[in-house]
Amino acid sequence: MYVYMYHVQVSEDEHYSLEELKSDLSECRARHVHVVVDQSFSGTLVKSLRRSRRHQHIAVYASGRDSEYSFAGDFTTAWTRVNHTRLCMKDVFRVGDLSAAVD
């Protein structure tokens, strides 16, 4: 099963909590899940999943640490400019010079 999520406009009062995301991800039966997070304080998700035994099948590519801001979609823009057809996900992160954000 493949799930594609697209950029969707949501109301400002809608809230998808970290715990709700973790619950949804823990119920996912895929062997490998890749999550690209481009928002301020995205490292919070990385830290939370790293401590969890229920989320070892998840790789998170975050725009920054848990105390850093993300600016105007720069991470997403850089991510989409890299040629994904011949690179592994971890290499997209490295080649796109995106790893500098979270070293």
Closest CA to 61 of 26, 82, 1, 53: 82
The total of other beta-carbon atoms located within 10 Å of residue 42's CB is 24
Rounded distance between C-alpha atoms, residue 73 and residue 26, angstroms: 27
Per-residue pLDDT band for 81 (boundaries 50, 70, 90) equals: confident
Residue 98 pLDDT exceeds 60: no
Rounded distance between C-alpha atoms, residue 63 and residue 81, angstroms: 15
Whole-model pTM: value is 0.66
- Which of 2-6, 68-72, 83-87 is least confident? 2-6
Average model confidence (pLDDT) for the chain? 75
Q: Do 42 and 62 meet the contact criterion of CB atoms below 8 Å apart?
A: yes
Q: Do 40 and 68 meet the contact criterion of CB atoms below 8 Å apart?
A: yes
Residue 68 pLDDT exceeds 80: yes
DSSP string, 34-47: EEEE-STTTHHHHH
Residue 4 pLDDT exceeds 80: no
Interval 9-36: pLDDT, tens: 667 777 778 888 888 888 888 888 888 8
Rounded distance between C-alpha atoms, residue 20 and residue 24, angstroms: 6
